Chain A
Amino acid sequence: MSSKINGNVSPQQCPHLLDFRSRNGSKPFRALQDCIRVKPPGGRAAIRREPSEVPGCGTCEESSRPRLYACVACAAVLCHSPPLHSHASTHALSNPGHEIAVDVDRAELFCCVCRDQVYDRDFDSAIVLAQSINAIATATTSTSGATAMQCNVAGSQPENLRKRRRVDYRPWAPDSREHVIIGNHSILLHDATNASLISSTELPRGLRGLNNLGNTCFMSSVLQALLHTPPLRNYFLSDRHNRYYCQQKNGAFNGTKNSILCLACDMDAMFSAVFSGDRTPYSPAKFLYSWWQHAANLASYEQQDAHEFFISVLDGIHEKVEKDKTKSRSPGSGECCIAHRVFSGILRSDVMCMACGFTSTTYDPCVDISLDLEPNQGGSGKSSSAKSHSSCNVEADCKGSNQNCGISTLKGCLERFTRAEKLGSDQKFFCQKCRVRQESLKQMSIRKLPLVSCFHIKRFEHSSIRKMSRKVDRYLQFPFSLDMAPYLSSSILRNRFGNRIFPFDGDEQDASNELSSEFELFAVVTHTGRLDAGHYVTYLRLSNQWYKCDDAWITRVNDSIVRAAQGYMMFYVQKMLYYKASEKQAAS
C-alpha cells in the first residue's frame, strides 16, 4: 500500500498503526529503544528484552519458530506462522490496541491483523541510528564494515529527477521513399556492399591511427576512446552536430582571425575523417589547436595528463555548445550538451551527524569517478568537490585490510568508494540540528548512472608537502563486464538496513536503474613508463576483438594483453547500448 507524499512514495500506514500512534503519544516506540541489539557479524538489528534473551513464544513455549513477534503494547513474544501456529494473531484479535508487533529477529514492524509489514519513520530512524553507531564502534575490527544513514533529505530534489518515461525499443527499417532519400544524401563507403566478404584480418570500420604531433599521445589515446564511445560516435555520425551549419550560425564562416571556437565542430570533422574508410593515419592538428585555445594553460608540447585532457575536452564541448534556452544548463540533467548526456551521472553523498543522527544528503553531477589505488599517505581524507563538470575524488583502499593483501581490483575500489567513512575530528561537519560541528559519517553512492562510465585511476601523485610527484605502478585488475547495481544509492542503503522507509523517488527510478546497471568495457587508456617520460596507449574493443591503438599504429591483440595492461582510464558503456551489430559487424 503506498501513496505519494511530496513526490516520495511512502507506504501507507495501516489503520491499526495510525491508531496505535495516536494513542501512545509522541514517542510510541520509546520502550523499544533499549531493546535494539545490533550484533556483528552482519550488523543486523534485533529486538531483545535482555541482551542474552532467547525469545520463545509465550503460548507454545517454542523458540524454534521461524517468525517471532513481540507485541509493542505489552512486550509479549508470540509466534506467527500461519496457518498452523499464530499465537500473535490470536493475541492481536483478542486484545484491542495490541495489533502492532515487531519481528524480534528482523526489527521490522508488523500488523497482526492486516498480516502485513508496516512502516514507521520514527521506528526506522531509531533502528538505523543504532546500526550506525554499532558500525562505527566496530569499524576498525569488523570487516563487514559500514553503515547506514537515516535519510532526511535536507535540500530539495535534484531537478532532473522527474521521471523519464521509458519508451520501448521499436526496430526501424527505411521504406522505399526513405531508401531513396538515404541513397541521395549518402556517400557509400568503399566496402559497404562487400560487408560479408570482409576478411577477418581487416580492421573494422572507424579504426584509424592518429599521428603523434609532438608528445600528444595523451591526446590520441583519449580521442581513440571518444571516437569509439558508442553514444558519442552515433551522435556525430548521424549528423547531430553539423560543423558547417554550426559555424554559419555563429557567424564565423567569413574566415576572420576571430572565428568562434567550437570543439564539437572539430570533433565532427574528426569523426568524418576517421570513419571515412581512409586507413592512413590522421593528424588531429585542428583539434589540437582548438583545444589549445580552450585550455590555454595546457598549450605546450609537453606531455600532458590524459585524464586532464579528457575533462577539458568535455568541458570545452559543453561551453561552446549552442545555447539553447529551452534546455536545462545543468550538467546533471544531461540535456545541456552531448558530452554530459553521455558521461554525466549523479553521485549522492550522505553525511550523518554521529551525535543526533540527522543526515544531510546532497546530489552532485560528475563525469567520471576517480579512484585511489592505495591509502592516501598524505591523510587529507575524502574531498568531494561540488562543482559541476568535475570528477569526484575518492579514497579507496586495496581490497582487504592491509596493503599487501593481494591484487587490487576495480570492484574493490568501487566498494571502498561506497563504503561509509568517518570524517575525522579535524573535519567535523556542521550539523543543522545540533547547530554545532560534530563528528560525522559520510557515504557516497550513485544516484544515477551515466550512459558511459569512465573510471580514472589516480596513478599520479603530486605531493606539495614533500614537493615531489610519483607514479603508482601497482596493477589493477578490471573486469570486461561490470554490474554497477551494488553501488547504486538504492542498493547501498537498502542492503544495510533491509526494509526501511527511505525518501527514494519511488520504485520506478529503481527499476530503470536496475535494468541498465550492466556495463561493458569498450576502451582502456593505459600508461607505461615514468611520470616524466611515459607513453599512453589505448585498447579498443570492437566486434568483441581488442585493438591496440598506439598513436599511428593499430594492431589486433589478444584479451590477455589487455587484462595485463596498466589501466589508467577505463570506459564502460551501458550494456543496453552495446549494440548487437557491433558483435557481428553486419552491414545494415
Chain B
Amino acid sequence: MKHSVNRPPTPDGAEDQGKEPTLQEIINIKLIESGEKERLMELLRERLIECGWKDEMKALCRAYIKKKGRNNVTMDDLVHLITPKGRASIPDSIKTELLQRISSFLTSAAL
C-alpha cells in the first residue's frame, strides 16, 4: 500500500490493553494462519452448491429484486434478507461435517 496515505490515527495502545481476545477470535486466527479456514470455506462452498442451498438463496434474491425493482435494491438489503433464512436452512449434515473438521483441527493444533 502507499505509505503516504491519510491514515487514521493509530489506536492508542494503552486503550486496548484491557481487552482479552475471545476464544472465538483465537480459533479464527489459528484457522486463518494455518490456511485451514480457506480449505474449510472451499469445502463449505462445494457442499452448499451440491445440496442446492446456493440456488435457493439465489432464487430468493431474484424474487426480491423482481418485486422491488432492480434499481431499488442494495447488496445490504439482500444480505439482510437471506442471512436468517440462509442460516436456518443449512442441512445438519453439513454442519456436522464442518464441526467435525474444526474439532479435529483444534485437537491437532493442541489448543
Q: Which residues of A contact B (CB under 8 A)?
A: 1-2, 31-32, 34-35, 39, 41-42, 49, 52, 54, 58-59, 61-64, 67, 73-76, 82, 91, 95, 110, 114-117
CB-based nearest B residue for A80 = B76
Number of interface residues of B (CB under 8 A): 28
Q: State whether A64 touches B6 (Cβ < 8 A).
A: no
**A73 in contact with B28 given A35-B1, A82-B80 (CB within 8 Å):** no
Residues 31-53 of B, flagged 1 when their CB comes within 8 A of A and 0 if not, give 01100001101100100000000
Report B39 CB to chain A, min CB distance, Å. 7
**A116 in contact with B39 given A64-B24, A91-B8 (CB within 8 Å):** no
Residues of B within 8 A of A52 (CB): 33
**A117 in contact with B5 given A41-B38, A42-B42, A61-B19 (CB within 8 Å):** no
Identify A115's interface contact among B19, B41, B74, CB under 8 A. B74
CB-based nearest B residue for A3 = B71
Q: State whether B38 touches A39 (Cβ < 8 A).
A: yes
Report B49 CB to chain A, min CB distance, Å. 10
Identify A76's interface contact among B8, B21, B25, B74, CB under 8 A. B8
Residues of B within 8 A of A73 (CB): 5-6
Given A1-B70, A42-B45, A61-B19, 12 more pairs with CB closer than 8 A: A2-B70, A31-B2, A42-B38, A49-B1, A54-B29, A62-B25, A64-B24, A74-B8, A75-B2, A82-B76, A115-B75, A115-B76
Residues of A within 8 A of B70 (CB): 1-2
Docked CA distance A73–B38 (Å): 27
**A114 in contact with B74 given A62-B25, A75-B1 (CB within 8 Å):** yes
**A31 in contact with B1 given A41-B38, A115-B75 (CB within 8 Å):** yes
Q: State whether B25 touches A64 (Cβ < 8 A).
A: yes
Residues of A within 8 A of B21 (CB): 61
Q: State whether B39 touches A74 (Cβ < 8 A).
A: no
Q: State whether B42 touches A63 (Cβ < 8 A).
A: no
Report B25 CB to chain A, min CB distance, Å. 6
Residues of B within 8 A of A35 (CB): 1
Asked whether any CB of chain A lies closer than 8 Å to the CB of B67, the reply is no
Asked whether any CB of chain A lies closer than 8 Å to the CB of B11, the reply is yes
Q: State whether A54 touches B25 (Cβ < 8 A).
A: no
CB-based nearest A residue for B21 = A61
Q: State whether A110 touches B75 (Cβ < 8 A).
A: yes
Q: State whether B76 touches A1 (Cβ < 8 A).
A: no
Asked whether any CB of chain A lies closer than 8 Å to the CB of B68, the reply is no
Docked CA distance A64–B27 (Å): 9
Q: What are some 5 contacts across the A-B interface (CB < 8 A)?
A: A39-B38, A42-B42, A58-B11, A82-B80, A116-B75
Residues of A within 8 A of B1 (CB): 31-32, 34-35, 49, 75
